[in-house]
Amino acid sequence: MNKIKAIIFDVGGVLALSKSPHIYKRGGFRDIGVHEYISRKLKISVDQWFDAIDTIYALAIEGKISESKLMNTIAKNTKTTTQKLKKIVIKAYRKNFKQNKQLFKQAFKLKKLGYKIAILSDQWHLSKESLMVNKRYKKFNLSVVSCDVGMRKPNPKIYKLTINKLKYKPVECIFIDNQKWNTEPAKKLGIKPILFKDNKQLFKNKTWRRLFK
């Protein structure tokens, strides 16, 4: 059996926990609290906000549009300034997500034990700026974010990119994500997946517990 050498973590829903439920909208899952906050501050309905970001949101997550073009388009659609929009969106994410301090602590313990720890996350420009500026993220050996690399989960290429950068074989890596459709491509490549529900479930997981022995 190949020895595990690296643990790869998702951000939204794993290292950063949402304080509110999610819904499925065009382009993927979106946090209700974040978008309700934004629409309220812009004095428009949530549906108007979703219409304003529409397909451009998905393009931003995939890194297929620049931040300036993204902001200019959404600001125009919502009849506001880019400065005001950015301030509102960043505040919305920070108010509606909390850093998973327990999991960070465990991750850094694993790093001290000799494992590499990495991040593989789907983010658009503003969610990355909101959620991933915490100094804890700088302690990871590697960070692969969709808007930076031009692809997103569940595209197998982003998993391959991550393990290639880690310079390990797929079977030497564990991937932790809160969505099953994101863990399945990892499994097909030979990466050991763990579907995250909460800290209690993860910390009881046999594969996870074995890392500390």
DSSP secondary structure, the chain, as one string: -PPP-EEEE-TBTTTEEESS-EEEETTEEEEHHHHHHHHHHHTS-HHHHHHHHHHHHHHHHTT-S-HHHHHHHHHHHHTS-HHHHHHHHHHHHHHHEEE-HHHHHHHHHHHHTT-EEEEEE---HHHHHHHS-SGGGGGSSEEEEHHHHT--TT-HHHHHHHHHHHT--GGGEEEEES-HHHHHHHHHHT-EEEE-S-HHHHHH-HHHHHTT-
What pLDDT was estimated at residue 2? Answer: 62
What pLDDT was estimated at residue 30? Answer: 52
**Which residues in the chain show pLDDT less than 70?**
1-2, 20-32
What pLDDT was estimated at residue 127? Answer: 93
Architecture of the domain made up of 6-18+98-210: 3-Layer(aba) Sandwich (3.40)
Q: Which residues contact 78 (CB under 8 A, 6 or more apart)?
A: 42, 44, 48, 49, 52, 85
Query: In the structure encoding, which two tokens stand for residue 20, read together?
Result: 């509110």
What pLDDT was estimated at residue 26? Answer: 43
* pLDDT tens, residue by residue, 8-20: 999 999 999 988 6
Token pair 């309905």 is found at 45
> Which CATH class, in words, describes the domain spanning 22-96?
mainly alpha
Domain locations along the chain = 6-18+98-210, 22-96
What pLDDT was estimated at residue 133? Answer: 86
CA distance 32 to 49: 12
Rounded to 5 degrees, φ, ψ at 142 are: -150, 145
What pLDDT was estimated at residue 23? Answer: 47
What pLDDT was estimated at residue 49? Answer: 93
- Cα–Cα distance list, 78 to 18, 113, 202 (Å): 25, 49, 41
CA distance 74 to 151: 21
What pLDDT was estimated at residue 60? Answer: 95
